[in-house]
Chain A
Amino acid sequence: DAKTTQPNSMESNEEEPVHLPCNHSTISGTDYIHWYRQLPSQGPEYVIHGLTSNVNNRMASLAIAEDRKSSTLILHRATLRDAAVYYCILRGQGGSQGNLIFGKGTKLSVKP
């Protein structure tokens, strides 16, 4: 399976933008890039996904590099509630086809 690499942890200040990077240099052409997050003591929740073009939704934006070997999850204004572990996951022929394969993710801390 194609793997993803994320920093172990990041810090942000409240109300500032946060850019969470993910490297996936072995991504295959049909793999979708999914992001989930897990707030403390909760199950993971879906954030966003994309294939080639940048994507926006009410939670975040996803910027995908032109060669698709990396992507960045963007939280435009971090709040205390955004403190969580963020997982970048590939789904497709090169990634997981059924279950999600979670790595260690990036633990985001948000300071008031």
Chain B
Amino acid sequence: GAGVSQSPSNKVTEKGKDVELRCDPISGHTALYWYRQSLGQGLEFLIYFQGNSAPDKSGLPSDRFSAERTGGSVSTLTIQRTQQEDSAVYLCASSPRLAGVPYQETQYFGPGTRLLVL
């Protein structure tokens, strides 16, 4: 079946511009996560949506970053007034909710959006 898709696959922008990154999770998955991976760095958690609960925004690095998830499906990560240090691969993942067996669900990752801020 279809996996997690992300668009665009690559984005080049100028410092100070706003960008929107899109994630289409696997159909039926209730949880959606955003991570980023800077060049040569590990994966860093950004934000987590679970069903209708308030999102966990604890990983967002600044108030220039925001995300929304409409209708429990598609998610958009917005970065306002981009800076050069925002250059990274932004990864989206989704997972099903396994009733009664927490901490065992698999996260399925998309291919990522490579963002370059000039």
The stretch of B41-49, B64-72, B75-83 that contacts the partner chain? B41-49
Given the complex of chains A and B, what is the CA–CA distance between A44 and B102 in angstroms?
A: 20
Judging by beta carbons under 8 Å apart, are B50 and A98 in contact? Answer: yes
> 7 A–B contact pairs at CB < 8 A?
A36-B107, A38-B43, A43-B91, A46-B107, A98-B50, A99-B33, A103-B42
What are the interface flags for A76-90 relative to B under an 8 Å C-beta threshold, 1 for contact and 0 otherwise? 000000000000000
Please indicate the chain A residues that have their CB under 8 angstroms from the CB of B43 in the complex: 38, 44, 100, 102
The range of chain B's interface size is 20 to 34
The 3 closest A-B pairs by CB, nearest first: A43-B109, A102-B43, A99-B45
Given the complex of chains A and B, what is the CA–CA distance between A94 and B106 in angstroms?
A: 18
Please indicate the chain A residues that have their CB under 8 angstroms from the CB of B45 in the complex: 99-101
Report if A42-B42 is in contact (Cβ < 8 Å); known contacts: A92-B103, A99-B48, A99-B56. no
Judging by beta carbons under 8 Å apart, are B111 and A42 in contact? Answer: yes
Q: Which residues of A contact B (CB under 8 A)?
A: 30-32, 36, 38, 42-46, 49, 91-92, 95, 97-105
Report if A31-B109 is in contact (Cβ < 8 Å); known contacts: A98-B50, A99-B56, A105-B42. no
Q: Which residues of B contact A (CB under 8 A)?
A: 4, 31, 33, 35, 42-45, 48, 50, 56, 59, 91, 93, 102-104, 106-112
State the majority secondary structure of interface residues on B. strand
State the majority secondary structure of interface residues on A. loop
